């Protein structure tokens, strides 16, 4: 082969490498753009999450008195239920005593 054809082959290979380099540069630019977009989206969702957590804490603070009231009401129901059981037991004992006196006296 002569020098001109060797030089032509070398220049052709250099052009191919330049095209590949440009393609890689475009890919890197696209990756950087996607990273920027994803970073922006992530920051947005972090801010929304923080805002929602703050709203949830505020709502819990507002509902705390109501929660305390429900706990108190639940305790009152437990006391009334226990009292009802005691009254029912006493009525059963009283009926037993009445039955005993009626049968044996």
Summarize pLDDT for 36-69 with one digit per residue, the tens: 999 999 999 999 999 999 999 999 999 888 888 8
pTM of the model: 0.48
8-state DSSP, 70: H
Grouping H, G, I as helix, E, B as strand and the rest as coil, residue 17 is helix
Q: What is the mean pLDDT of the chain?
A: 91
Answer yes or no: is pLDDT of 88 > 90: yes
Q: Report pLDDT for 2.
A: 66
């Amino acid at each position: 082969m002569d020098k001109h054809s060797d030089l032509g082959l070398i220049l052709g290979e250099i052009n191919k490498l330049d095209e590949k380099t440009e393609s890689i540069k475009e890919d890197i630019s696209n990756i950087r753009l996607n990273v920027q977009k994803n970073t922006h989206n992530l920051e947005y969702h972090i801010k929304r999450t923080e805002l929602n957590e703050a709203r949830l804490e505020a709502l819990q603070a507002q509902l705390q008195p109501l929660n305390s009231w429900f706990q108190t009401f639940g305790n009152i129901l437990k006391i009334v239920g226990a009292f009802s059981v005691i009254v029912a037991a006493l009525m059963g004992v009283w009926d037993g005593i009445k039955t005993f006196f009626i049968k044996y006296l």
